[in-house]
Structure formats: C-alpha cells, structure tokens
Amino acid sequence: MKKVILFFCCLQAYMAEAPGSLLSAQVASSEIGTLVEKMISDDSKKQASAIKALALTGEPQVARVLELFRQGAYHTSDGVFYVFEQTIEDEDFNEFGLLLNPLNGNPLMDENGDQQRIDVFDVDEVEVTRAVRIQVRRAEVLLRLSSRDGETRLAAVKKCAQPPRQMEAMPFLLEMSLNEPDSKIRHAARESVLLMQVTEENAEQDQRSKALIALGAMKSLRAAPVIEEMLLLKSELPASLVSNCEDALAKIHQHQWVVNRMGSVIQGISLGSVLVLMALGLAITFGLMGVINMAHGEMMMIGAYATFEMQRIFQHTGSSPNNWYYVAALPVSFLAAALVGVVVEFLVVRHLYRRPLESLLATWGVGLILIQLVRVRYGDNIGINAPTWARGGVEVMQDVIVPYARIFILFLCAGCIGFIYWLMNKTNVGLRIRAVMQNRDMANTLGVNTKKVDLYTFALGSGIAGIAGYAWTMIGGVTPDMGQQIFIVDSFLVVVTGGVGELAGVIWSGMGIGVISKLIEPLEIGDWTFGPVWAKVALLAIIVAFIQFKPAGLFAGKGRADDR
Amino acid sequence: MKKYKLIIALTCAVLAFVQPAQAVKIGILHSLSGTMAISETSLRDVVLMAVEEINNKGGILGEKIDPIVVDPASNWPLFAEKAKQLITQDKVAVTFGCWTSVSRKSVLPVYEEYNSMLFYPVQYEGEEQSLNVFYTGATPNQQLIPAAEFMSNELGMKKFYLLGTDYVFPRTANKVLKAYLLANGVPEANIREEYTPFHHQDYQTIVGKIKEFSAGGNACVMSTINGDSNVPFYKEFANQGLSAEDCPIMAFSVAEDELRAMDVPPLVGHLAAWNYFQSIRSRDNRSFVRNFKQYCKKNKLPGAGDRVTDDPIEAAYFGVYVWAQACEKAGTFDVDKVRKAVYGIKFNAPGGAKQMHESNQHTKKPVLIGEIKRDGQFKIVFQTDGLVSPDSYSPYLHTDGTFPDPTGGPSQ
C-alpha cells in the first residue's frame, strides 16, 4: 500500500496535466467501477480518458482488469456486464464462461462455493479496437510496476524502457532503483532509468555520458542495441559522447562474449548429462551384455509413459499442480521399464545371446510392438506437465541462467552413475554380473546361475533407461515413437564412441559429445553460422574420424564381446 | 482412358445389382502410424465423422458414402502406392488426405496421371496449383502476412527471429515473410533466420541466441517449428526465463491439438495465426466441437472427450462438405464436372462462411490471431475483415509478375 501511495506522489509531481481529483485521495473501488463502465462505453473519447485515469489509479489489480478488457473478456447482456476468460464444458459439451469480478478479476462464487457461470451464447462480447488495445497495453505496463508479483514487476520495468519509451514511468522507476527490495528488479529499474536518460535527446550531454558510462559498468546487454543505434548517427553526436558510446559498447560486447562462452560450456555439460543418462542403460545391455538392443529407446519411452501414468493418478495438471507425482514416478518408471525388460529378456533376448546380429532384428521388432501397444493405449498426443519447481532457472552469473530442470537431470545422472558404480563394484550381484560378462562358461562352471544374472542385468539396463525417459519428460516431449526418433541413434553413438563394455567410457564420450556439439553450434565463420544442422554434420564427421583412429572407442572394454 | 471409364461404369452397374443401396467410395489417405500419426489420425477421425453425418442425412445424390481408409505410415513413397491403390483398385471418386508437403508432392503425379481428385486440408508453402487438388488449408499469404502485420503494427515489434524446421514449408514461408518485412521497412539486420533438423530436441543454443537478439526489446520469434520439436523449444524458452512479455512467439504450426502435449501455463500470451480456432464463438462451431468430441468418445478413440478441434481438423471436415455440395450441384461424381462445380462455391464451415476460389484451387478464408490461454485454448485477439483471397503463387517470390500455369487436369 505504501508503494501505491508513493506512486501517486511521483505521478502527481511528474504529470501536471493529470486530473487532480483522481490523485487527491485513495481511489475507492466504486470510482474504479465508474471508470470501468466508461472504458466499456462506445464513446471512444470517454474510453481513452477512462483508460488513462485507470492507469493512474496505481492499483495493481486494475492491470488485471485492463488485461481482461483488452483480451475481450468483457461481455454484455441487457446492460449488465459479465467478465469471463476461461470456459468449461458440461458433459454434453455445452460451453460456459466462468465469471470473474469486473472490478478486480477475481472469481465470482455462488453460495455453494462454486464459480458462477454463464452460457456463452447468452452474452455479447464487447469489441475492442486495435487503437484501444494499444492504449490499454501501455496502461497495463504502468500499473504492473506496482504489482505484487516479482516476475510481473520485472517485465514491466523492462518494458517501460523499450521504444516507444514511457517517460511517465520515470519517477516510479527512479524510486524503484533505490528502494525496490528485490535486487534483480532494482538492477533492472536502474538499467531502465539509464536507458531512458541515454535516449533523451534533449537532456544535458553530461547526463547522457554519465548514463553511458554507468551502463557500460553494468555490462548491460539491454543497452547494446540502443547504443549501436546511436552510433549509426555518429555524425550528429558530439565527439565525447561517441567515445563514451564506444567504450560502453566494448565493455558490453566483452561481457556478451563471456556470457556466450559460459553459456555454451554449461549447455554442453547439460546436453552431455542427458546423453550420458540416455546411454547408461544401453552401456549395460549392449556394452556389457553384447545384445544389440534396438528396443533401448522404447524402454525410455516406457519410463516416460510411466511418468505420465503417475501424473494422471496424482491428478497433476499445469494449473493445479501436485508435485508428489514426480517423486513417485522415479521408482515407478524404473520398475515399469525393468519389468518390460524382464519380459523381453525372458521371451526373446535370452535365446539370442550367441547370435548378436539376430538380436538386432528381434529387439527392433520388440521395439515396434511396444510402440504400437503404447499408441493404442494412449494415443499419440499426451502432455506431461513438469513439476512446478522445475520451471525457471537459477542465474549462475549475470545473464547466464541454468534451468532447474537441467540441474536436476545433471544430479540424477550423477546419482545413476554412482548407483551403478556401487552395484557393480561393491555388491555380490555386481560381482556376479562382472564374472558372467568376462567369461560366461567359467562363471557357469563356478556355480553362478548365468541365466538369472542375465535376467537381472537386462532388467537393470532397461530400468536405467526408464529413468532416462522419466528425466526426459522435464525437457522434451513424449510420443510413442520417441525412442526411435530421438534416442536410439544418439545412445549408440555415445556407447560406441566411449568404447563398448566400459561404463566410464560412456561418461567421457557423452560429456565430450555434448560439449563439443554445443561449442560448434554457435560458431561463426564470416557471416555463416553452423547452427544445429551443420553442427550435427560436423559432430558426426568428427566421430567418424575418431573411430578411424580408435576403433574400440575411448576405452577398450573387457565386455562379453571380447570372448569372440 | 475410355476403357478405364468403361470399367468403372461396368463395375458400378454390377455393384448396383449386387447391393441394394448404391455407395460411392471415397479414399482417406492419412498416416495412422509413424511420425505424422500424431497429427493425421485426428483428420481421419473428422473425415469419418463428416461421412457419417452426410450418410445419416441420406448421402449424396441418393448414394451412401463408403469410406476406404488406408495407412501410408508416414512413408512418403508409400503415399503414392496407397493413392494408386485407392484410385485403381478401390475406384474411389475422391480422396481426402496428406499432411506434409512431401507426401502431397509424392501423390501428385498419381492424381494427375489418373485425373482423380484430392482434397488437401493443411496450411502449406503454396507455389503449387494442380487441377487435381483442392487445397482447403491456408496459403502463405493467408497466415504469414496478417501475422507479421499484427506483430509490427499492434505489438510494435521491430526485430524478427524467423525460426523453423529445415524443410520446404518453413523455408518458403520465411522467404515470403522476409520479403514482406523488408518491403515494410524492417532493416535486414533486424531479421534473423535459423533452421533446425526434424526431431531437433536441444534448443539451448538457439534460445540463448534469441535472448541476445531480444535483449533490447521489441523483438519477436516467428516460428515454423514443426511437430515434436515444439515441446522442447517452448520448455527451454520458458525455463531460460523468457516470457511472452520479453519476446512473444508467433507460431504457424502450433494449434490446439499440439498444445495438448505441452505444459501450458508458461506459454500463456504467446501467439498463433490460423484460419480457425476452437474458441470461435458461434452456434455452428459449438455444435461442431460437440459433435467431434462426442464422436471420439462414442468410438473410444484415444483422448476421447478431451480431444480438441483445430484448423486442419476444420479444413479436413469442410472439405468433405465442399465435395458433397459440388457433387449435388454437378449432379454427378465425375471428376471434371465436380471440379467445375467446386469453383467459387460458397459454403458454411464450422468457423463461419467461406468460399472456394473461382479458379486457383484454394480456399478464401479469414485469418485469425490467437493468444494462448491457461486452459490450452486460444483467445482470438485479431481477425481480418472478411475473407482473404489465397495466392497459389506468392507475388513476393515471383517479383516479375509472371506465374506458372496450373498442372494436371483432364487429359487431352
């Protein structure tokens, strides 16, 4: 509330032409009511003045009212206003609007606690012309400066400084640049103030050059295009200002360079962790067991669909989240894929251990069957809403953001590696797995039940693939054929490059491929950039060349493939 | 050719004796498996629904429609084979089908060789005009230009990042967009063009570039990203802290059906340009939406009552009605006569009244721009006045004003 009052004072000082009556006292909601009514009227002059007056109320909730109005959420019927944004359908698919309070956009409830509704065909939409919409957008920005939500405030702060600049926001921005509690917004507000000062052509040259120096010191990426534009008209600027411009631009470009390189490396590591996670399961089923497992991608798909099933059971949706589903989905996706792995091993793979090429065809067929089964059950088009904590990211340095989802995958990947390492090297099961891998007949002679070990190993590889599919739902889409379209080639690429039969190889090659491809992608040669298409081509060329020199991959393995 | 017609006539005659009620066969050529199944199955469903509706009202010219569904499995050469099978073996009077341009290009020679008729329901890159195809989706000028106009005049955008999947539609679309933007005073330096391969999943670098591009504000993305790449793109975009306030995305290939597979709340405020949205508020459209949902529920199709309608679904649906109306008008199923009857025909589609173009095989439609809402539907924020006439060949690409002649048609 303090902020609102403060806003009034600023505005009063700044906007002499504003009608005093509106600013003199706290605006009563009934007053907003009259303004809203004026805004909805047919008279365009009344409309314009009402929008202006509404913008000056400084009430954050009015921003919502304006937004609803701009989007055409206001409807009339016999002189009564109905506001609704979302609609729902009853069981006969009739459409009803869910009513909102016209004065603040909050839901209108009936006595049973349900939101009131109205048949959409009982009302007429209030038409809003483009000119009005543009006016309303500007008013919205002004009001959002005092929003309670940080993100909204931040967006508004940035928007004010974009051309056409909103000079009427200046006093408020100045205030925010000093007293805003959120440091990120405070920083952005200061940036906006400086940007507006720089472009104020009538301002003192001294003020402009000070602002330029400050922007350079802030390494403001937002200022770069503005300064570049100024330099286009170099001849009209005083020489000292030009050199200020150039100094600031040099600093910003240097910062941009660092941001880009840092970004590339972080993105590379993130892509690498995705690739490693994808390939880990395959490193077990193909690398260690020697099965050319073409159904590996489908195991990931099973994991992703298990996650979807959990989302359904926990009734998690984007607008009413229940994040526990994602916790439950971790073991479930592992178990679901492992279970499918057990069935596939028992029915198909176990008969083909000594015939690797036939395992290729058989597992490919298994993959197709799995795809079609899932397609029949779920259809092609399902959505998984990531848990709400995975939205957004953390700013690791100025202007470099790492999404939470990718950080999670990095840790999940590390966890899986740790788990496999522990299992293989510290447990009895791992000992047996390694024994069977190295010499099946000898292990058999020494009393190891190789059939059982094979079953466990295949289930483990499939389960890990399931976890990869689970993690994938955070950053990518889910379709029945995602395994074949997205995963299988990359997974084999990583395993083969890393060296068949060596788990450490997967980590190094996955990370290597990830980082190299992210370093190639933004490369520029003259005017031409690699981009994703040529980055992929270049990466494959590098891998082909690499395999020529090291046919066994990064680490020559001691897998079952060595028996032959 | 004559012999061929004679055979048809004979078969019809035989059939007339065998079957108590005559039936005219139509082909449905949509992928039900493979990559494109995600989009194309809905079109099969809606065409079957239209057929059922027409049959319930007594069919066309007293004959029931007998739909023959085949699955070309997202395999482009297989499209041509299946088309040939529909025409020569099943002797269909018309085919409704295809989604991707490459599948249409694959079947085009078949339809021209046998002088058969195809209704193609999807927006595409234009630059084609075959007398054997009726295009019920949008041409570039019916989607791109009003969208670009909206971006610059209403939202005040000055910088445009043209991002697409690497194939013919995005490349042509971006050529048209670029020519339009340049002609309207946007400097070349403010336009960036970029492509990703099919099924591209890692948008980190590109989102980073967009961030740099849009840092100064007043920048937008014009996206022709297709299919499953949209999900990771929008997710990365939101997770990197970009919103519709910082840099709105105007999409040309994301409709209600695609939004079903996305986490919608972070996408609120982004835009799409189409000729139809499920949220069009009219009684006709409401009953269309209702019927489609009930049809999916009744037939236990995946998704059932949660299914949505979108632009290609509407275009596929009214295609059947246009054909039926033209057959009634021509009084026959003969391809050449029906073709003439289609020209300039006016009809009521679920999204409102539309008209077929008088000569260029395409459809006159309104252009709508929608803003994504929290419930996965679009709020219509802009609509052109009246219908926009289709350009089969874009004047932005044929700057000398000469356009190629139509291909196909009756053999001489």
Tell me the sheet residues that pair with B368: B274, B383
| Closest residue to A225, CB basis, from B215, B232, B265 | B215
Between CA B87 and CA B82 the distance in angstroms is 9
Q: Do A133 and B381 touch (CB under 8 A)?
A: yes
Chain B CB contacts of A318 under 8 Å are 263-265, 374
| DSSP per position, A234-257 | GGGS-HHHHHHHHHHHHHHHHHHH
The reply to whether A115 touches chain B by the CB within 8 Å rule is no
Q: Do B204 and A271 touch (CB under 8 A)?
A: yes
Between CA A125 and CA A106 the distance in angstroms is 19
For residue B258, pLDDT over 50 is answered with: yes
Q: Do A372 and B166 touch (CB under 8 A)?
A: no
- The reported pLDDT for the residue numbered A28 is 45
| pLDDT tens-digit series, residues B124-158 | 988 899 999 999 999 988 999 999 999 999 899 99
The tally of CA atoms less than 13 A away on the side-chain side of residue A43 is 8
Residue whose entry in the numeric block shows the structure tokens 């979807």: A308
Write down the number of H helices and E strands in chain A. Answer: 23, 9
Chain B CB contacts of A226 under 8 Å are 216
Burial class (CB in 10 A: 0-12, 13-18, 19+), A439: middle
For B219, the 3-state DSSP assignment is strand
| Closest residue to B215, CB basis, from A224, A274, A518 | A224
Chain A CB contacts of B246 under 8 Å are 155, 158
- The reported pLDDT for the residue numbered A7 is 41
Chain A CB contacts of B35 under 8 Å are 481, 485
Chain A CB contacts of B192 under 8 Å are none
B252 near B223, Cβ under 8 Å?
Answer: yes
- The reported pLDDT for the residue numbered A14 is 35
The most distant pair of C-alpha atoms in chain A lies apart, rounded to whole Å, by 98
Q: Do A162 and B216 touch (CB under 8 A)?
A: yes
Single-letter residue type at A335: L
Q: Do A121 and B283 touch (CB under 8 A)?
A: yes
A214 near A179, Cβ under 8 Å?
Answer: no
Between CA A557 and CA A560 the distance in angstroms is 9
Q: CA of A260: which chain B residue's CA is closest?
A: B208
**Interface test with chain A among B204, B268, B313, B373, by most A beta carbons within 10 Å:** B204
Distances B199 to A31, A450, B232, B233 between C-alpha atoms, Å: 54, 40, 10, 11
Residue whose entry in the numeric block shows the structure tokens 């990359």: A490
Residue B174 has which token pair? 């971006």
Q: How many C-beta atoms lie closer than 10 Å to residue B411's C-beta?
A: 9
Tell me the sheet residues that pair with B96: B28, B119
* DSSP letter, residue A525: E
Between CA A401 and CA B399 the distance in angstroms is 44
- The reported pLDDT for the residue numbered A371 is 92
For A452, the 3-state DSSP assignment is helix
| DSSP per position, B334-345 | -HHHHHHHHTT-
B95 near B28, Cβ under 8 Å?
Answer: yes
Pairing mode, strands A80-89 and A74-77:
antiparallel
Pairing mode, strands B133-135 and B118-120:
parallel
The reply to whether A534 touches chain B by the CB within 8 Å rule is no
Chain B CB contacts of A382 under 8 Å are 260-261
Between CA B57 and CA B64 the distance in angstroms is 9
Q: Looking at CA atoms only, how far is residue A526 from chain B in angstroms?
A: 15
Q: What angle do CA B258, B263, B266 make, to 5 degrees?
A: 115
Can you list the alpha helix ranges (DSSP code H) found in B94-143?
A: 101-113
Q: For residues B55-72, b (16+ Cβ closer than 10 Å) or e, as one string?
A: beeebbeebbbbbbebbb
For A95, the 3-state DSSP assignment is strand
B369 near B343, Cβ under 8 Å?
Answer: no
Q: How many C-beta atoms lie closer than 10 Å to residue A103's C-beta?
A: 18
From chain A residues 175-194, the ones with a CB under 8 A of any chain B CB are: none
For residue B24, pLDDT over 50 is answered with: yes
Between CA B188 and CA A183 the distance in angstroms is 37
Nearest C-alpha neighbor of B163 from the set B123, B220, B218: B220
User: In chain B, which residues fall in CATH 3.40.50.2300?
Assistant: 2-137+281-365, 144-251
Rounded to an integer, the average pLDDT of B21-43 is 84
Q: Do A260 and B303 touch (CB under 8 A)?
A: no
Residue A400 has which token pair? 């470099």
- The reported pLDDT for the residue numbered A270 is 93
Between CA B52 and CA B43 the distance in angstroms is 14
Tell me the sheet residues that pair with B348: B353
| pLDDT tens-digit series, residues B209-251 | 999 999 888 999 999 998 788 989 999 999 988 888 889 999 9
- The reported pLDDT for the residue numbered A25 is 32
Q: Which fold has domain B144-251?
A: Rossmann fold (3.40.50)
Q: Do A477 and B245 touch (CB under 8 A)?
A: no
- How many residues comprise chain A? 564
Residue A176 has which token pair? 């925010």
Task: Please list the pLDDT of chain A residue by residue as tens digits (564 residues).
Answer: 344 444 444 333 333 333 322 222 333 456 777 888 888 877 888 888 888 888 888 777 888 888 888 888 888 888 788 888 888 888 888 888 888 888 778 888 888 888 888 888 888 888 888 888 888 888 888 888 888 888 888 888 988 888 888 888 888 899 898 888 888 899 999 999 999 888 887 778 888 888 899 999 989 898 988 888 888 888 888 888 888 899 999 999 999 999 999 999 999 999 999 999 999 999 998 888 888 899 999 999 999 999 999 999 999 887 788 899 999 999 999 999 999 999 999 999 989 888 888 889 999 999 999 998 998 888 777 888 889 898 888 988 888 999 999 999 999 999 999 999 999 999 999 999 989 888 888 888 998 898 999 999 999 999 999 999 999 999 988 888 888 888 898 999 999 898 877 788 899 999 999 999 999 998 888 888 888 888 889 999 999 999 898 888 887 655 455 544
Q: How many C-beta atoms lie closer than 10 Å to residue B243's C-beta?
A: 18
A/B interface, count of CB pairs below 8 Å: 195
Q: CA of A536: which chain B residue's CA is closest?
A: B197
Q: How many C-beta atoms lie closer than 10 Å to residue A533's C-beta?
A: 15
- The reported pLDDT for the residue numbered A22 is 27
Q: Which fold has domain B2-137+281-365?
A: Rossmann fold (3.40.50)
| pLDDT tens-digit series, residues B268-327 | 889 999 999 999 988 899 999 999 998 988 888 777 777 889 999 999 999 999 999 999
Between CA B191 and CA B180 the distance in angstroms is 11
Between CA A10 and CA A7 the distance in angstroms is 5
Pairing mode, strands A393-397 and B133-135:
unpaired
